[in-house]
Amino acid sequence: MIFVGIDENGLGPRLGPLVVTAVSAHCAHTAGQACELPRRAFRVRLDDSKRLISYGDNALGEAWARAIVRRMGSDERTPDAVVRALSLDGPAALLAPCPDEHAKQCWAILGEQFGAPDELVASVERDLADIEDRGVDVTRAACVITCARRLHDADARGLSRLQVDLHAMERLALDARRDAGGDVDITCGKVGGYDRYGPAFGPLKGFDCSPLEEGRARSAYAVAGVGRLAFVRDADSSHALVAMASLAGKWVRDLLMARVVRHHRQGDASLPDVSGYGDPKTMRFIQGTSLERQRSGLPRECFERPGKTGTTSPSSRASRPFLPSKA
C-alpha cells in the first residue's frame, strides 16, 4: 500500500508563497503502524516543523528535502535543483504570471547556497533507512508553490487561501495516485477548523466521494479512483509522512522568501531579513521597499498577498478549482 502525508507551510504570512508538500512511501504494515511517528529520541529530527525549525534556522528542513530528493534519484546539487525536483509545476508554469522584468524577485538564484552540513543530511538519510527497516520506504516528495500573484488571482475569483490550500492538497493527492498506479491512503493536515470538505473540493469535484467520518479532529473520505483521504488535526506531530512534508515544505518556503528579501536588499542593505509573517520586522520591510517598488513598477500583487487569509467555511463558497496556467 502507498501512504501519503500532505501539509502546508505559509498559509497566513503577508509575503512569500504558500507551499503545500506531499511525501509518499511504500508501507508494509497497517496504517497505524506505518504512519505513527517513531520513538521520542527520533523526534529531534522528525516532528512538527514549527517545533524544530524557524526562519533563518531551517537546516533540518533542507536536510529532509535533500535526502528525499536523493532517494528519488533527482538532481540535488543546488538549492534550486532541489526545488525544481520537488515542484509539481515546471519552470514555465511557475514563471507564467511573472512580469518579465520582475521575475528575478522570486526566481533569481545568484549566490544561493545550502545551509545544512553534510553530517546532518547523512543523519537524516540514516533516519530514512531506519524508517525503511520498520516497513516504511519513503519514495518521493512533491510540492505545489502558490505565489502572491496567484493568491491575488484566486482572491479575485472568490477563493480564500484556505480553498487554495485545499485545492493544492487535492492536486498532490491525484499526483500521488497517478504515480502509485493504484489507490493510496492519504493523510493531510486539517485545512482550517472545518468538518466537511466534500462540497469545497476543486480538482476532486466530480469524483464519487463518500464521507467516512466528519468531525473537528478528523474528517475522512473514500474517494473512488483515488483511495482514502483524511484531514487530521495536528497531523504534523503524529504522522511521520506529514511531519516530513512539513519540514521539507518549510525549507522550500523559506528559501523562496529569502529570494524576495535578497532581491530588495540589493538596493538597500539596511532592510531587515524577514520571514514574511505579519511581525514588526516584516512590516518595516514592506514600508522600506515601498518607494523602490513604485519606482520600478513592481505590481503590488507580485509582492504582498491579499489582506485576508479567508475564514469562510469551504462548504459555503463556490468551489472552482484553482490551477496554475499551463504556460
Helix/strand/coil (H, E, C) string of 8-26?
Answer: EECCCCCECCEEEEEEEEE
Q: Of 4, 246, 248, 8, which is closest to residue 136 (Cα–Cα)? A: 4
Cα(217)–Cα(291) distance, rounded to whole angstroms? 46
Tens of pLDDT, residue by residue over 189-243, are 999 878 899 999 999 999 999 999 999 999 999 999 999 999 999 898 889 899 9
What are the backbone dihedrals phi and psi of residue 135, each rounded to the nearest 5 degrees, phi first? 100, 10
Tens of pLDDT, residue by residue over 299-313, are 999 999 998 655 444
Residue 285 has pLDDT above 80, yes or no: yes
pLDDT band at 315 (very low <50, low <70, confident <90, very high): very low
Q: What is the DSSP letter of 273?
A: P
Residue 78 has pLDDT above 80, yes or no: yes
CA 213, chain centre distance (Å): 25
Give the count of beta carbons closer than 10 Å to the beta carbon of residue 223: 22
| Grid cell at residue 39 | 520513538
**Alpha-carbon dihedral 326, 158, 167, 99, rounded to 10 degrees:** 30
SS3 state at 98: coil
pLDDT band at 318 (very low <50, low <70, confident <90, very high): very low
pLDDT at 236: 84
SS3 state at 7: strand
pLDDT band at 55 (very low <50, low <70, confident <90, very high): low
CB-facing half-sphere around the CA of 32: CA atoms within 13 A: 0
Arithmetic mean of pLDDT, 271-284: 94
Within the chain, how many helices (H) and strands (E) appear?
12, 7
Arithmetic mean of pLDDT, 91-110: 95
What are the backbone dihedrals phi and psi of residue 253, each rounded to the nearest 5 degrees, phi first? -60, -45
Query: Which listed CATH number (3.30.420, 3.40.50, 2.60.40, 3.30.70) goes with 2-258?
Result: 3.30.420
Arithmetic mean of pLDDT, 284-298: 97
Is residue 271 a contact partner of residue 28, using CB atoms and an 8 Å limit? no
| Grid cell at residue 173 | 493527492
Is residue 317 a contact partner of residue 200, using CB atoms and an 8 Å limit? yes
Q: Tell me, what amino acid is at 326? A: K
